[in-house]
């Protein structure tokens, strides 16, 4: 069973009741969550129930050795994570036999986190778990809890290999939230190729925060980096000081005598389109129940936000009532912060999403979200912070200059209608499956009958592993006979390649690791590296030594690695006609080289330069989706004077930007290549590929939803008001060709041709 509903809809209660019942009846429960923090929260909740027969315990890397035996033998409700299941519980299943024998329920909480390569690993770990259970005669029920997503049952089946029922309707009571979608205006600044630069989401968010604090609306602003959060808090304070001390000249539209959010000539135009009706499915709890037309002050009055008594605003105090929240605060600092937000002493807080964990912030009236947070699940989680005691709340998504953000502010139905974003994974990826077949064989020798559990390719792969000397074939099945631990073969949180260690040069502190392919784009020499909202500058990337040396720094710019890519087709897996075009999903070899990095000013988005880099090319075997257009169609477009290379290039950039709307991936998880004439297809071709060895399911999802995806791509380009292309539509910060050539009008024509119904001859 998979329950896929919004934040605070009561999902935990839905699995707790049967789970606790099973424990009371003599069974055991395994609870899995991606993070230790969540397991600790759950344990606290369970203990508060004060049911003595439920012996709950966490089992993770922090569990002291002397407690582990107790957990194995006595606990009937074990809370752990996939990593521990992979490395400890499954390899040592014999020691857990009494637990596995009685296992009735497996809860997979926050399972929308199991996506891409990590999700594919978890899918294979769950299959290993099912095999171990059946060895002990147990067939537990799997209960999955997920944020809202498209096709949750299909995802649940991919994750567990089991048929799933889905629960998607949410009847929990909620106050209403008015949702505003906000697009910052174009400025007079000029970027690459003379493209107009949009006002940054950070600058707009600071203005909105000041406006709301002035109206005594308790507001939380989510900003991507800690530096960004601090900038937002400082800018909002400065604006409030100007108001308090009668210097409104820096902030012409902020006038305390008028309604603080009344738009004037200087206000950027909001996009107040609202969904026509409340959708019964998906994230209905955060829907607007009233069209949030912010066109006139009267309409804002209609939003019944709790405010301070009028006239009581002590203007001079306001600046001190805005703060920035830092990750790594001590718990007493956090509690203090929670208190002052609850009491209203603090009116505005800017934070990174570090706040998601560890701080209990309720009692807010408004939430500002600077830039699309990546998934609908995160968006609703953040927006869900607003709303206290049944009062109306306000949530504002401020667009960044990115094609996906542009699309969303012009197409609210993509946010408020049925979810289109599916949680995507690819458990058949041989780079993922191979190590888990070895681990499974080490747990219990793999019989031929076991193999279908691991997917259609498992048999052939097991034979390959025998040839490579990893497994040994005997009459009774496949055996692991090597000395090393089979579980060490799978790096479940990485994506292949030896990891590069990120080390703070002054202290020698290890901040984390980045897999080698990602190191080229995220920790190259000169990169601005974000770690838990903190900013570091990479002094040196030494690939030979596998180390990136960084130092804490607060540069006023961000960096974007730019690569050039070549692609060759290895095989086609599926293909079909799309209008006159042909769409294919298949295997490719990609050679990628990071050649330079772009620097852009955080505050204004202004381009500061393109610095060359000397990094070796990297080759990757992965999966891609590509489309080709027949020569006759191409010739007709060329006759109309369209720059075909520029049109295909622009369509490629925008389609990479839009794919995360349909597959839960990041723009940086995928890449693309476009060409007027590709050697392997002999035609005009646009490729979008998974940036992970073996593929992660993103391109496959693009193939499955091609019409919707490419229609949204066309819309994103057409909705942008720039004339010839900008970062909000067709320019890409990671383009290795310096965004040359690009043809905006041509891209729209090309996509129209692609999406047109086939003409009857
Ligand atoms: Zn544009
Ligand atoms: Zn490009």
CA of 702 to the centre of ligand 1 (A): 23
User: In terms of C-beta density within 10 A (0-12 exposed, 13-18 middle, 19 or more buried), how is residue 60 classed?
Assistant: middle
Which ligand is closest to the CA of 598, given by its number? 2
Cα 106 to the chain's mean position, in Å?
25
Continuous segment of H or E residues that includes residue 366: strand 366-370
CA of 651 to the centre of ligand 1 (A): 13
Which has more confidence, 574 or 291? 574
pLDDT of residue 254: 43
CA of 335 to the centre of ligand 2 (A): 47
Question: What are 71's two structure tokens?
Answer: 């957990």
Q: What is the mean pLDDT of residues 102-123?
A: 94
Check pLDDT > 90 for residue 397.
yes
Please tell me the total number of residues recorded for the chain in this structure. Answer: 761
pLDDT of residue 258: 39
At 712-749, the pLDDT tens digits run 999 999 999 999 999 999 999 888 888 999 999 999 99
pLDDT of residue 597: 94
At 118-140, the pLDDT tens digits run 999 999 999 999 999 999 999 99
CA of 721 to the centre of ligand 1 (A): 6
pLDDT of residue 734: 86
pLDDT band, very low/low/confident/very high, at 390 (cuts 50, 70, 90):
low
The DSSP-derived string for 204-243 is HHHHHHHHHHHTT--EEEE-SSHHHHHHHHHHHHHHHHHH
Check pLDDT > 50 for residue 297.
no
| Window from 15-19, 295-299, 423-427, 463-467 with minimum mean pLDDT | 295-299
Q: What is the pTM of this model?
A: 0.81
Q: What is the distance between the alpha carbons of residues 531 and 502, in angstroms, rounded to a whole number?
A: 10
Contact of 397 with 369, CB cutoff 8 Å: yes
Q: What is the distance between the alpha carbons of residues 414 and 417, in angstroms, rounded to a whole number?
A: 6
Q: What is the distance between the alpha carbons of residues 75 and 591, in angstroms, rounded to a whole number?
A: 51
CB atoms under 10 Å from CB of 318, counted, come to 23
- Closest by CA position to 500, among listed 440, 467, 546: 546
Q: What is the distance between the alpha carbons of residues 1 and 493, in angstroms, rounded to a whole number?
A: 26
CA of 189 to the centre of ligand 1 (A): 14
Check pLDDT > 80 for residue 760.
no
pLDDT of residue 246: 72
Q: What is the distance between the alpha carbons of residues 687 and 668, in angstroms, rounded to a whole number?
A: 15
- Closest by CA position to 555, among listed 516, 611, 507: 611
pLDDT of residue 431: 85
CA of 565 to the centre of ligand 2 (A): 9
**Topology agreement, domain 2-167 and domain 177-245+315-414:** yes
Question: CA quadruple 706, 711, 712, 713: dihedral positive or negative?
Answer: positive
CA of 644 to the centre of ligand 2 (A): 14
CA of 646 to the centre of ligand 2 (A): 9
Question: CA quadruple 151, 154, 157, 159: dihedral positive or negative?
Answer: negative
Q: Which residues pair with 565 in a beta bridge?
A: 592
pLDDT band, very low/low/confident/very high, at 590 (cuts 50, 70, 90):
very high
Three-class DSSP category at 646: helix
Check pLDDT > 50 for residue 255.
no
CA of 582 to the centre of ligand 2 (A): 22
At 349-362, the pLDDT tens digits run 998 876 654 456 66
Contacts of 484 (CB under 8 A, 6+ apart): none
CA of 403 to the centre of ligand 1 (A): 8
CA of 121 to the centre of ligand 1 (A): 38
Backbone angle region of 349, left / alpha / beta, with phi > 0 → left and psi within -120 to 50 → alpha: beta
CA of 608 to the centre of ligand 1 (A): 20
Three-class DSSP category at 360: coil
CA of 404 to the centre of ligand 1 (A): 12
Question: What are 692's two structure tokens?
Answer: 């992970």
Contact of 623 with 604, CB cutoff 8 Å: no
At 335-389, the pLDDT tens digits run 777 788 878 889 999 988 766 544 566 678 999 999 998 888 888 888 888 876 6
pLDDT of residue 342: 79
Is beta strand 2-4 parallel, antiparallel or unpaired with respect to 141-146?
parallel
Q: What is the distance between the alpha carbons of residues 444 and 344, in angstroms, rounded to a whole number?
A: 59
Q: What is the distance between the alpha carbons of residues 513 and 493, in angstroms, rounded to a whole number?
A: 10
pLDDT of residue 294: 36
Task: Compute and round to an integer the Cα radius of gyration of the chain.
Answer: 27
Question: What are 667's two structure tokens?
Answer: 């723009």
Contact of 705 with 434, CB cutoff 8 Å: no
Three-class DSSP category at 342: helix
CA of 269 to the centre of ligand 2 (A): 30
Q: Where are the domains of the chain?
A: 2-167, 177-245+315-414, 430-489, 500-555, 560-755
At 677-710, the pLDDT tens digits run 999 999 999 999 998 888 889 999 999 999 999 9
pLDDT of residue 555: 87
At 154-170, the pLDDT tens digits run 999 999 999 999 999 98
At 200-234, the pLDDT tens digits run 999 999 999 999 999 999 999 999 877 788 889 99
CA of 94 to the centre of ligand 2 (A): 54
Q: What is the distance between the alpha carbons of residues 183 and 198, in angstroms, rounded to a whole number?
A: 9
Residues of the chain above pLDDT 70, percent: 87
CA of 739 to the centre of ligand 2 (A): 5
Check pLDDT > 50 for residue 268.
no
CA of 480 to the centre of ligand 1 (A): 56
pLDDT band, very low/low/confident/very high, at 330 (cuts 50, 70, 90):
low
Check pLDDT > 80 for residue 559.
yes
Check pLDDT > 60 for residue 7.
yes
**Which of 273-282, 389-398, 582-591 tops mean pLDDT?**
582-591
Which ligand is closest to the CA of 686, given by its number? 2
CA of 741 to the centre of ligand 1 (A): 15
CA of 658 to the centre of ligand 1 (A): 14
Check pLDDT > 80 for residue 521.
yes
At 445-466, the pLDDT tens digits run 999 999 999 999 999 999 999 9
Residue with tokens 């080229």: 520
Q: Which CATH number fits domain 2-167: 1.10.3720.10, 3.10.580.10, 3.40.50.880, 3.40.50.300?
A: 3.40.50.300
pLDDT of residue 756: 87
- Closest by CA position to 236, among listed 246, 221, 226, 224: 221
DSSP percent split of the chain into helix, strand, coil, nearest 5: 35, 25, 40
- Closest by CA position to 187, among listed 204, 166, 171, 172: 204
pLDDT band, very low/low/confident/very high, at 496 (cuts 50, 70, 90):
low
Provide the strand spans (E) within 492-580: 500-504, 510-514, 528-531, 534-542, 547-552, 557-578
pLDDT of residue 36: 80
CA of 736 to the centre of ligand 2 (A): 6
At 12-59, the pLDDT tens digits run 899 999 999 999 999 999 999 988 878 888 898 899 999 999 999 999
Contacts of 740 (CB under 8 A, 6+ apart): 193
Q: What is the distance between the alpha carbons of residues 656 and 399, in angstroms, rounded to a whole number?
A: 17
Which has more confidence, 564 or 287? 564
CA of 320 to the centre of ligand 2 (A): 45
Cα 82 to the chain's mean position, in Å?
19
CA of 637 to the centre of ligand 1 (A): 22
CA of 596 to the centre of ligand 2 (A): 13
**pLDDT, the chain, mean:** 86
Considering the domain delimited by 177-245+315-414, tell me its CATH architecture.
Answer: 3-Layer(aba) Sandwich (3.40)
CA of 363 to the centre of ligand 2 (A): 45
CA of 635 to the centre of ligand 2 (A): 23
Check pLDDT > 60 for residue 277.
no
């Amino acid at each position: 069973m998979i329950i896929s509903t919004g934040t605070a809809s009561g999902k935990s209660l839905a699995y707790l009741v049967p789970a606790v019942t099973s424990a009371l009846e003599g069974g055991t429960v395994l609870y899995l969550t991606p993070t230790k923090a969540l397991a600790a929260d759950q344990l606290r909740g369970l203990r508060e129930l004060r049911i003595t027969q439920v012996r709950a315990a966490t089992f993770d890397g922090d569990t002291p050795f002397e407690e582990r035996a107790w957990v194995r033998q006595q606990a009937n409700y074990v809370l752990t994570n996939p990593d521990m299941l992979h490395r400890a519980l499954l390899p040592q299943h014999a020691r857990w036999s009494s637990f596995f024998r009685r296992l009735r329920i497996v809860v997979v909480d926050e399972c929308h986190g199991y996506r891409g390569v990590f999700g594919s690993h978890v899918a294979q770990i769950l299959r290993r778990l099912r095999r171990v259970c059946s060895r002990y005669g147990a067939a537990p029920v799997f209960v999955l809890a997920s944020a809202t997503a498209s096709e949750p049952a299909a995802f649940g089946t991919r994750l567990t290999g089991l048929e799933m029922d889905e629960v998607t309707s949410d009847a929990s009571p909620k106050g209403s939230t008015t949702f505003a979608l906000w697009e910052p205006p174009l400025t007079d600044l000029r970027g690459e190729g003379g493209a107009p630069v949009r006002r940054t989401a950070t600058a707009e968010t600071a203005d909105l925060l000041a406006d709301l604090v002035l109206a005594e609306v308790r507001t939380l602003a989510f900003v991507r980096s800690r530096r960004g959060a601090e900038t937002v808090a400082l800018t909002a304070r400065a604006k409030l000081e100007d108001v308090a001390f009668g210097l409104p000249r820096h902030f012409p539209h902020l006038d305390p005598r008028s309604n603080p959010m009344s738009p004037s000539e200087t206000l950027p135009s909001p996009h107040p389109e609202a969904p026509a009706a409340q959708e019964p499915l998906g994230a209905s709890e955060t829907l607007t129940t009233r069209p949030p037309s912010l066109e006139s002050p009267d309409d804002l009055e209609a939003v019944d936000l709790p405010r301070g008594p009028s006239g009581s605003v002590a203007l001079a105090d306001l600046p001190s009532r805005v703060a920035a929240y830092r990750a790594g605060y001590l718990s007493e600092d956090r509690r203090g912060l929670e208190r002052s937000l609850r009491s209203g002493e603090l009116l505005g807080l800017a934070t990174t999403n570090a706040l998601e964990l560890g701080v209990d912030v309720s009692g807010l009236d408004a939430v500002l979200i600077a830039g699309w947070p990546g998934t609908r699940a995160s968006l609703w989680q953040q927006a869900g912070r607003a709303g206290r005691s049944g009062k109306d709340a306000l949530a504002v998504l401020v667009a960044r200059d990115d094609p996906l953000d542009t699309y969303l502010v012009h197409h609210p139905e993509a946010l408020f209608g049925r979810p289109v974003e599916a949680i995507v994974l690819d458990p058949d990826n041989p780079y993922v499956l191979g190590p888990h077949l070895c681990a499974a064989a080490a747990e219990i020798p793999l019989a031929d009958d076991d193999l279908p559990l691991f997917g259609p390719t498992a048999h052939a792969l097991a034979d390959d592993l025998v040839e490579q000397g990893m497994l040994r074939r005997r009459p009774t099945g496949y055996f692991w006979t090597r000395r090393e631990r089979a579980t060490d073969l799978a790096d479940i949180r990485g994506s292949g390649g030896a990891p590069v260690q990120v080390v703070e040069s002054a202290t020698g502190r290890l901040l984390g690791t980045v897999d080698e392919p990602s190191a080229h784009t995220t920790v190259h020499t000169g990169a601005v590296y974000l770690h838990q909202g903190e900013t570091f500058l990479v002094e040196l990337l030494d690939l030979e030594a596998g180390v990136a040396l960084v130092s804490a720094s607060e540069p006023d710019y961000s960096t974007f690695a730019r690569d050039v890519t070549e692609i060759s087709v290895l095989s086609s897996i599926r293909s079909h006609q799309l209008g006159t075009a042909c769409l294919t999903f298949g295997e490719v070899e990609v050679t990628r080289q990071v050649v330079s990095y772009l620097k852009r000013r955080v505050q204004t988005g202004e381009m500061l330069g393109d610095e060359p880099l000397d990094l070796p090319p990297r080759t990757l075997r992965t999966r891609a989706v590509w489309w080709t257009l027949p020569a006759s169609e191409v010739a007709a477009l060329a006759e109309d004077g369209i720059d075909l290379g520029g049109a295909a290039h622009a369509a490629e950039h925008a389609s990479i930007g839009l794919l995360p709307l349909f597959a839960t991936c990041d723009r940086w998880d995928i890449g693309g290549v476009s060409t007027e004439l590709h050697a392997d297809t002999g035609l005009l071709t646009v490729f979008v590929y998974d940036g992970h060895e073996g593929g992660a399911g993103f391109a496959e999802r693009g193939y499955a939803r091609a019409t919707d995806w490419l229609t949204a791509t066309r819309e994103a380009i057409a909705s942008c008001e720039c004339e010839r292309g900008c970062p909000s539509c067709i320019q890409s910060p990671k383009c290795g060709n310096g965004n040359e050539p690009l043809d905006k009008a041509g891209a729209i024509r090309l996509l129209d041709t692609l999406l047109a119904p086939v003409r009857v001859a």
